[in-house]
Every structure is written in C-alpha cells, then in structure tokens.
Amino acid sequence: MREAGILLPLSSLPSNYGIGDMGPYSFELIDLLKTGGFRIWQILPLNPLGFGNSPYQPYSSFAGDEIYISLDELYEEGLLTKRPPKFQKNSKSVDYEKVRKFKEIYLKEAFLHFTEDTDYKDFIKQEWVYLYAVYLTLKKKNDLRCWNEWDKAQKEWIKTREFDISVYKEEIHYEMFIQYIFYKQWMKVKTYASQNGIRIMGDIPFYVGIDSLDVWANQECFLLGEDGKPTFIAGVPPDYFSATGQRWGNPIYNWDYLKKQGYQFWLDRIAYNSKLFDIIRIDHFRAFDTYWKIPATCETAIEGEWLEAPGYEVFDLIGKKLPEVEIIAEDLGDLREEVHVLKNHYGLKGMKILQFTFDPNENNNNFEDIENMVIYTGSHDNQTIKGWYLSQDKETRNRIRKSLKKLGYDDRIISKRFVRLTLDSIAEMAILPLQDLINLGDEARINTPGTLGSPNWEWKLDNFSKFKKEIGNLKEFITASKR
C-alpha cells in the first residue's frame, strides 16, 4: 500500500514547556496528519538523552526520557495540584538544561501524589525497570559520570549486588515511577494515533552508548577492557560528511559472545521497541553486514578496519521469534553490494534521499526508483531542501530547477517541487520532514553529522500555523499521488 508520512522528532513539537512532549500538541499533530491524508509519523529515539543531547547516545535502549513527559497530562490525571505555568512556550529551540530543571520540580511533586496500582506493579516486574532505576540513581550520585568511573563497589553492583543500595530506596522508586509515567503517556499517544489510522515509526540506533545501562548490565556483549572502557569503538571512515570520518565512540559488539547467547541482546531490543512503535527503523543498518572498527586510542575515525557481522544469523532469529515486526533498514551512504543483498534477502525496505540525486557533491547519488523502499526529501541529518538549495551555486540551482521542470514540477517554491516529486515516486512509503512541507531553511536543521553540541537536536516549532495552512494543498498532492 502506498503511504505518505512525515518526519518530526517528538522534541520538535510545539509545547507549553520548552520541548515537544506527549501532551496536547502530539494529539493535535495526529489530527492534522489524519486531515492531510498522512498515515505515518516517523520520530527519533525517545530514550534518555546522553552526551550532547543526542538521541543516538542514550542511557538505555528501553527507558524513556523524562523530558518528554507531559506536565499537562500529569495535571489532568490529578498528580499535580495546579497546572504549571507556561515555560518557554514560544521558543524555537530547546534549552535542555533549563527545561529539565523546570520539569523536575513538577515530576517530583507528581511522585509524592502517586499511589501504586496494579498496572504500575505489573510494569515494574520488567527487569530493566529496576536495573535502570538503580543505574540512573547511582549515576546521579556520581555527578552523572559514566559507570566505568564510579567507585569499584558501585561499579560492580550489577554483577555482585554487594553494594548497599537500600539507602537510595526512595530515589530508585522515583525513577521507576518516571518510567511508568513515560510508558503510560506514550502508549496513550500511540493508541490515539492507531485509532486515527496513523502508524508511528520509531528509531533504534545500531550501537548503544558506553554510558548506558545496556553496557553496564551486559558488559560481556561488548569489547571492553578490565576497566570497563572500550578497547574498540564505532564510527565510519571519511565520507561526504567528514574528511576525518565520524568517531562515534560507541563500544563495538562482542559478536562471538552474542552468538553464544543466541543474540538475545538484539532480540530483546527489537521486541520491546515493537511494543512502542508500529514500524522500527534501524539506524546504520549496514553494520549488520560490515562495521568499521576503530582502536579506542585513535583520535579520529581514519584508522580502522571493516569487519563482517553476522547479519543473516541475527535476522533469521528475528524472523523466527518476532515475525510480525516491520523493520526499515537505513542503508544510506557508499555501501558494498552485500548490504543490499542482506536487506533484500529479508524483504526489508531501504531508504533513499531525493536531495542526494540532485547534489553534484554527493558521491552516492545514483537513484533507482523501486517500490519496496522509503523515499525522503531529506533525513534528520540533512539540510532542509530550502537550505540545501540556497547553499548551491547559481549554475547548480539553475540545473536543479530545469531538471524538475522537465519532470513536470514548476512550483514557485523549490521545496514544494521536491515534496511533489517524492510523493509521486513509486516507492511504497514517502516520508517528508515537516520543515520541507512548510518551506523552512537551515535554521530548522536538526543535526549536522560529525559535529557536537548546539544547535544539534535543538530545533522546534513554536506553533502549527504554517502546517495548518498547507494541509489542504498537501492532501491534494497525496491524493493525486494515490497515497
């Protein structure tokens, strides 16, 4: 079935409290998507944000970040005595530190008013909930330092259970409460989306961060030294985005150990996320075929080697034990043919970025329009169409306009031409960043690969007014493209 969707991080929604959350604006977005004829809402990972506020360096593959909890929902549930005052309501960027400090006051008040019920008791029976609560509590007691820098007794609690954590009983219960509230609010959003014909596409990073419960609780699954620090790290060699490659710093998997364990680590990640999302996109899918292994001592990603991963073994098990899971493979970049063979063997949809096909500087701009694919104008790692177009020289801009006109797209606004071309593709899924739907420039770019810190991950809408004005036109485009 041909479908159209949007790409918009939850954090980028308008909000009464400085960051998009699981409150009224998420439900309003779903209403707008239904009105416009969209069927998919793609988001970025919702896990606890780690280094640089990147959703791809989370503290856990299972937990949710408390920053997305809606204070309005807490008030409606009776967990807050008064509705909190508006905070940075009209902001166009997220100040993570200030938002956290503001929300923490009300989250702790809600905890004091909370009474455990059967749903809560059932939720915390999941092993990861308690372990994450302990992990985050100890992390906070250690000034947020990584677990491999804690005192020996605390660092080894996960293996020995000898360190006395009973003194932190209240803090641990608070963290479990936070996870329950997050899950409850998110499932309310997901249920509403489903009721209105909208499927939500979640995102799983291939790698996990060293500073995470994932690694602390599963140290044998990674290539670590005796001190708990990675001996080898992940990244990619020099490419279009970076002359020195990208040194991500994530620990490399110990695939030999994972195989002995039946790849349970991966099965658990996929299974839990399949409860949260209708579709799962796996970021950096190509590492299931080959991955770039960088010595941890290297300061860049230039040094390293490609090694083969047991992708077929992993996906054979996923297909056997989780047959209903729908997975999208992020297969962008300059890849060897074996990556596509692996993807096609399991019938997975890959990704294509339309922007690349018109970019003379992109060395991977070959484009094959096929049905079993997800096509985008751009992803969260790209410039917006407007920003990208304006960054080209005059000759390139003229060539782009002429090429699009020959294809029958001569709208005055360049991003609208790309939107229509994307929707008219024979690809079964067409996903459009909301920035391109409302013709925003690079002030609305989400992330620049190979860079850290502000303004990455900070962009947000202040309201839906521009999107509402375009809904009618977008519905016409979607209908005309038979999506």
> Can you tell me the distance from the alpha carbon of 3 to that of 483, in angstroms, rounded to the nearest whole number?
5
HSE, side-chain direction, 13 A CA sphere, residue 285: 27
Task: Give CA–CA dist 380/277, Å, rounded.
Answer: 19
Selecting among 283, 289, 359, 470, the annotated active-site residue is 283
Active site residue 278: no
Per DSSP, the residues of 161-193 read --S--GGGHHHHHHHHHHHHHHHHHHHHHHHHH
Dihedral angle sign, alpha carbons of residues 224, 219, 58, 292: positive
Which of 381, 411, 428, 442 is catalytic? The answer is 381
**Integer Cα distance of 309 and 329 in angstroms:** 15
Please say whether the dihedral angle defined by the alpha carbons of residues 278, 283, 286 and 291, taken in this order, is positive or negative.
Answer: negative
Amino acid at the residue 220: E
Helix (H) or strand (E) segment spanning residue 432: strand 429-433
Instruction: Annotate 325-359 with b (16+ C-beta within 10 A) or e (fewer).
Output: bebbbbbbeebeeebeebbeeeebbbbbbbbbebb
Computed over its alpha carbons, how large is the radius of gyration of the chain?
22
In whole angstroms, give the CA distance from residue 154 to residue 162. 9
Give CA angle at 295 (292, 301), nearest 5°.
55
How many Å separate Cα 464 from the centre of its chain? Answer: 22
Farthest CA pair distance, the chain: 71
Q: Which two tokens stand for residue 278?
A: 């209708």
3-state DSSP assignment of residue 328: strand
Is 299 an active-site residue? no
Side-by-side strand order, sheet with 3-7 = 327-329, 279-283, 199-205, 40-42, 3-7, 429-433, 373-376, 350-353
Active site annotation includes 330: yes
DSSP states of 203-260 as a string?
EEESS--SSSHHHHTTGGGB-B-TTS-BSEEEEE-S-SS-TT-EEEEEEPB-HHHHHH
Set 66, 73, 175, 330: catalytic member: 330
- 3-class SS of residue 423: helix
Distance CA 327, CA 350 (A): 9
Residue 347 gets the label, from left (phi > 0), alpha (psi -120 to 50) or beta, of left
Round to whole Å and give the CA distance between 314 and 92. Answer: 41
Give the whole-angstrom CA distance, residue 286 versus residue 343.
9
Distance of alpha carbon 209 from alpha carbon 248, whole angstroms = 9
List the catalytic residues: 283, 330, 381
